[in-house]
C-alpha cells in the first residue's frame, strides 16, 4: 500500500539554469530505497511522479529535482513558501540497484540523472559497490549537467564518469553527440556481462535499449526508469 505523508518545504537549490532541487522535511516513517520515486501533490490537481534525488542515508530531508518547463506544476513549485505543507505519496518503483560482482553501467539522459544520483550517493555513503561502476551521462552542454562537480568527485573504489554532450564547448574529455552503441562498446569492457540501469525521457531510453541490443546485451540485464511527460 502506498503511504501518504504531509511534509513542509525547506529550501530550493538551483542545480543548473534549467533544473532545481526542492527539499522538504523528511516525514516520520518515510522510507525509500535509492532509485525510487514519490507522487508529489502540490494541490490544485497538480500531481507528478518525481524521483528522490537525495539518498536514504541523508535523513534530515527528502529532495526531488525538477526540470523547469514553465508548466503550471513548475510555477506552483516556484511559489512555495518556506514551511508550506504539501503531500507526498510513496515511495514507489522498482528502479533500484542490486549488488553484484558484474560491472554496473548507469546511463542518464538529462534530468534522468535524479534516481541515479540517489543510487550513487547511497553507494558512496554505504561504502558499497565493490564492482566497477560507470556513469554515462548525456546532456546538451556543460551548463546543463546537474550535479556535475559532485558526480565527478564521488568516492567509490572503481568508478568512472563519461560525459556525452551535444555541445562540448569548454568540456575536455567529453564525447560529442548522443550516447551510442559505439560509445558503449568503447567505454564498457565486456559489455555483454554488465548490468545496465537507464533513466531519462522515453525517446532516450528507447534509443539506448536499441543500442544495447545491437551490441548483444540481453534484455534481462537492463532496467529502465522512463520519465513520461518529456519528449
Residues that bind ligand FAD in the complex, under the rule CB under 6 A: 37, 48-51, 64-67, 69, 71, 73-74, 93, 111, 114, 225, 227-230
Residue 43 φ then ψ, to 5° = 80, 180
* CA 63/CA 114 separation, integer angstroms: 10
Taking CA atoms, 78 is separated from 34, 65, 81, 132, 198, in Å, by 26, 12, 9, 39, 29
Nearer to ligand FAD, 147 or 175 (CB): 147
Q: Which residue is nearest to ligand FAD (CB)?
A: 229
CA distance from start to end of the chain? 31
Smallest gap from residue 159 Cβ to ligand FAD (A): 22
Q: Cβ closer to ligand FAD: 111 or 133?
A: 111
- Separation of alpha carbons 71 and 185, rounded Å: 38
Based on CB atoms, which residue is closest to ligand FAD, 37 or 159? 37
Residue number, 117 or 183, with CB nearest to ligand FAD: 117
Q: Which is nearer to ligand FAD, 66 or 163 (CB)?
A: 66
Cα-based distances in Å from 76 to 84, 89, 112, 130, 172: 12, 18, 22, 42, 38
Q: Take residue 175 and report the three cell numbers written for it.
A: 564525447
Q: How far is the CB of 142 from ligand FAD (least distance, A)?
A: 20
CB of 184 vs ligand FAD, minimal distance in Å:
23
To ligand FAD, the closest distance from the beta carbon of 214 in angstroms equals 26
Q: What CA dihedral angle connects 75, 77, 81 and 87, to 10 degrees? A: 140
Q: How far is the CB of 49 from ligand FAD (least distance, A)?
A: 4
Amino acid at each position: 500500500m502506498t503511504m501518504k505523508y504531509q511534509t513542509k518545504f525547506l529550501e530550493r537549490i538551483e542545480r543548473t539554469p534549467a533544473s532545481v532541487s526542492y527539499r522538504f522535511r523528511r516525514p516520520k516513517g518515510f522510507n525509500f530505497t535509492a532509485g525510487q520515486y514519490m507522487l508529489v501533490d502540490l494541490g490544485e490537481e497538480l500531481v507528478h511522479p518525481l524521483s528522490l534525488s537525495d539518498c536514504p542515508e541523508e535523513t534530515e530531508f527528502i529532495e526531488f529535482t525538477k526540470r523547469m518547463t514553465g508548466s503550471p506544476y513548475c510555477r506552483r513549485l516556484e511559489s512555495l513558501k518556506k514551511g508550506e505543507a504539501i503531500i507526498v505519496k510513496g515511495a514507489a518503483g522498482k528502479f533500484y540497484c542490486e549488488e553484484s560482482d558484474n560491472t554496473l553501467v548507469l546511463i542518464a539522459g538529462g534530468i534522468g540523472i535524479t534516481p541515479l544520483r540517489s543510487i550513487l550517493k547511497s553507494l558512496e555513503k554505504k561504502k558499497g559497490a565493490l564492482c566497477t561502476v560507470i556513469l554515462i551521462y548525456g546532456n546538451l552542454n556543460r551548463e546543463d549537467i546537474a550535479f556535475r562537480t559532485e558526480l565527478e568527485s564521488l568516492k567509490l573504489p572503481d568508478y568512472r564518469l563519461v560525459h556525452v554532450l551535444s555541445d562540448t564547448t569548454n568540456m575536455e574529455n567529453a564525447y560529442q553527440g548522443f550516447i551510442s552503441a559505439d560509445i558503449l562498446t568503447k567505454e564498457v569492457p565486456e559489455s555483454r556481462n554488465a548490468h545496465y540501469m537507464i533513466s531519462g525521457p522515453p525517446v532516450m531510453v528507447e534509443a539506448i535499449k536499441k543500442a544495447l541490443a545491437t551490441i548483444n546485451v540481453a534484455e534481462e540485464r537492463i532496467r529502465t526508469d522512463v520519465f513520461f511527460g518529456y519528449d
